Amino acid sequence: MFKKLIFSLGILPMTTLAFQIGAWVGGPGQYPQPTQQNVQAFQDLQGTHLDLISYFALFDINDWNATEEYANVAKNNGSTLVVTWMANGYNAQDLVDGKADTYIRDYAKGVKGYGEEIWLRPLHEANGDWYDWGVGKSGAGNTDANVAEAFRHIVKIFKEEGVTNVKWVWTTNASNSGKGSTLTGNYPGDDYVDYISIDGYNWGTCQSWSSWQTFSQVFKKAYDALANINKPLFIAEISSSERGGNKAEWITDMFEHFATDFSRVFAVMWFSQSKEANEGDWALNTSQAAVDAWKAGIAKMKASEPESSSSQDVSSSSNNTDIVPNGRAASSSFP
């Protein structure tokens, strides 16, 4: 866990979207990237296609040229690249004051020239204390208000450049950390967001401060807090440790929730990279039982959907951001 703009405000036809599967695919080495080889390895592991591929880009370090390599991997795989866009080295007010504008504008021009749809999620997990833009980070000067304004500032630059092939993702962490942090207080507003998402992990007993939590214990507070935001919702980062409980059962339970009380969720993206001892065993294949549970869950979700639905069914002929899930979520109170 390293740590569309709505260009048209008119009411547009709804687009049906099947349940989507995504991942940070991990791979060998300390800093793996979503190369074609690593993406294929993960697809072989789960026995099915990845709809969404995660990539982490750092401000001033990873320009569009660096990102495009992995956007092409996703494109050639028939997938969508989801870029977690990390403003390392900048607090929220720095961004509002335009200190990163040159980099942001150059990136926007690159995205526009590329033409294919990508999803961008800047300033993710801002309700935590671990990032430079985090409201909870002591001494950083971040508030819900200026984090929201920083997000809007980024989107406005893309609008000024005439970029129409981005879906904007706003992400809250599943729990708050640090003084002043809230689950939804830094939401920038409906006009600046296409999708909303949650990041959350079951740390199990891998830390001195952590204990085993069920899927619902990790995600329910954030899921409920987002109930009044009228945007499609997905889980952008998720994983569970093996330590302190049964990871395979945790995954099975997760998919059961997607079919019932978390039916608003239209996609899930597994963070499949185990970290050093100071973090967690997040990789999917820490046990064959965990892999089997993941595969069974995907099969169950796909079986619940009408044959006419397609995980690739995203409108490219309009700026439509109104997505209505089908299958298991069609009967829910999805906005």
- For 274-301, the DSSP string reads ---TTS----GGGSHHHHHHHHHHHHHH
Whole-model pTM: value is 0.88
- Whether the per-residue pLDDT at 330 is higher than 70: the answer is no
Identity of the residue numbered 119: W
- Res. 277 pLDDT band, cuts 50 70 90: low
Half-sphere exposure at residue 266, Cβ-oriented, CA atoms within 13 angstroms: 27
Q: How many CB atoms lie within 10 A of CB 135?
A: 27
Q: How much is the average pLDDT of 117-134?
A: 98
Instruction: Report the DSSP pairing between strands 118-122 and 166-173.
Output: parallel
Largest CA distance in the chain: 53
- Whether the per-residue pLDDT at 78 is higher than 90: the answer is yes
- Predicted pLDDT at 333: 26
- Predicted pLDDT at 45: 98
Q: Tens digit of pLDDT for each residue in 225-238?
A: 999 999 999 999 99
Q: How much is the average pLDDT of 2-11?
A: 34
Which range (6-15, 63-72, 92-101) has the least confidence? 6-15
- Whether the per-residue pLDDT at 332 is higher than 50: the answer is no
- Whether the per-residue pLDDT at 269 is higher than 60: the answer is yes
E-strand ranges in 31-88 read 52-58, 80-86
- Predicted pLDDT at 278: 63
Q: Percent helix, strand and coil across the chain, each rounded to 5? A: 35, 20, 50
**What are the backbone dihedrals phi and psi of residue 72, each rounded to the nearest 5 degrees, phi first?**
-70, -35
- Are residues 82 and 54 in contact, defined by beta-carbon separation less than 8 angstroms? yes
Q: Report the distance separating Cα 17 and Cα 105, nearest Å.
A: 31
- Res. 4 pLDDT band, cuts 50 70 90: very low
Q: What is the mean pLDDT of the chain?
A: 88
- Whether the per-residue pLDDT at 319 is higher than 80: the answer is no
Q: How much is the average pLDDT of 113-137?
A: 98
Q: Report the distance separating Cα 170 and Cα 232, nearest Å.
A: 11
- Are residues 203 and 280 in contact, defined by beta-carbon separation less than 8 angstroms? yes
| DSSP character string of 187-217 | ---GGG-SEEEEEEEE-TTSSTT-----HHH
Q: How much is the average pLDDT of 201-228?
A: 96
Q: Report the distance separating Cα 52 and Cα 79, nearest Å.
A: 5
Tell the CATH superfamily of the 15-329 domain: Glycosidases (3.20.20.80)
Q: H-helix or E-strand containing 152?
A: helix 144-160
Q: Report the distance separating Cα 194 and Cα 319, nearest Å.
A: 10
